[in-house]
Chains A and B, each alone.
Chain A
């Protein structure tokens, strides 16, 4: 089976930095996505990593270590609007883009 683990909930303060971890054990791997999902809304794309290392995109960065089955999403200069669920998803190498999602991490940013 596929196993993707993320913390259920995290809290942080406005202006701070937070790191959301994701570990995975899957039967295939063709990259890892991070999505943001506000309550009642569609998941929106944040990042995609297929090679080891850090990808930086503005306030958000994502890291991947394939040998360790580990990724993290780093959010800097937190804003209230960053309060949302963050979904880690492994892209399986099934011949099409089959995504297997973790349960999501609910981030609450407080003033």
Chain B
């Protein structure tokens, strides 16, 4: 089947605008993760869902960041009142199980540029 998909692939926003980034995980995958990857850096954990439950959001940089997965499949990462420091690639990953050591499968990311 298809891998993890993300949309849009590229997003340009003016400072202060709200954006919504979508992730479609691999069908049937229980776990879903969001990461932020700055240029030349490794991905940094933002938040984790097990089905529809958001079990960890310790990596969200501020209360302007909000994520949801209401039906346990598609997830949306929303950033309110975007700032220039929010410019990064936002990666979504999914894995089959819950609290296991399953491999995470990554999507291609959404590159967000805030002007």
- Chain B contact residues, majority secondary structure: loop
Please tell me if the beta carbons of B104 and A101 are within 8 angstroms of each other in the complex: no
Closest to A89 in B: B42
Closest to B105 in A: A45
Interface string of A43-82 (1 = CB under 8 A from B): 1110010100000000000000000000000000000000
Please tell me if the beta carbons of A42 and B108 are within 8 angstroms of each other in the complex: yes
Determine whether B103 belongs to the interface, using a CB cutoff of 8 Å to chain A.
yes
- Of A31, A95, A97, A102, the residue contacting B104 (CB under 8 A) is A97
Assuming the A-B contacts A42-B107, A96-B55, are A103 and B41 also in contact, with contact meaning beta carbons closer than 8 angstroms in the complex?
yes
Determine whether A11 belongs to the interface, using a CB cutoff of 8 Å to chain B.
no
User: B13-21, B63-71, B78-86, B91-99: which lies at the A interface?
Assistant: B91-99
Expressed in whole angstroms, the Cα–Cα distance for A102 and B41 within the complex equals 8
Please tell me if the beta carbons of B108 and A101 are within 8 angstroms of each other in the complex: no
Please tell me if the beta carbons of B48 and A98 are within 8 angstroms of each other in the complex: yes
Expressed in whole angstroms, the Cα–Cα distance for A4 and B104 within the complex equals 19
7 A-B residue pairings within 8 Å (CB atoms): A42-B108, A87-B43, A91-B101, A94-B56, A95-B99, A97-B48, A98-B45
